[in-house]
Amino acid sequence: MLNEEALLHGEKLSVATVYNALNQFAGAGLIRKISLHSERTYFDTDTGDHTHFYIHDEDRIIDIASNDVSVGPLPPPPAGYKVSKVDILIHLTPITDSN
């Protein structure tokens, strides 16, 4: 989308350049990288603690306030490791008559 918007404004910008810049911003903590699977990554400008709904049929994410989600005790990490972050992504599909 960002690449398409640049092209609409007459700017020549490759998709690789856009993703390189976004990954650098994520590495610097300016944006948050959300990887759904190997083919889809979102970049979120809200770097604060919050979780997301992912709507499969619409291929989009919706923010969930952090106080609307609770996480119980986590299992202990393997020896030599510590938990640095917990990401929660709740996948949604529409309700149909068959389910």
- Please indicate, yes or no, if residue 11 is contained in any of the structural domains: no
pLDDT at residue number 20? 94
- Please indicate, yes or no, if residue 3 is contained in any of the structural domains: no
Q: What is the pLDDT of residues 13-56, one digit of tens each?
A: 888 888 899 999 999 999 999 988 777 889 999 888 788 999 98
pLDDT at residue number 99? 61
How many domains does the chain contain in total? 1
For 90, the domain range is: 46-99
Q: Is the pLDDT of residue 94 over 80?
A: yes
Averaged pLDDT, 68-78? 89
Strands (E), the chain: 32-37, 40-44, 50-55, 60-65, 89-92
pLDDT at residue number 31? 95
Cα distances from 55 to residues 10, 50, 52, 62, 91, in angstroms, run 33, 17, 10, 8, 6
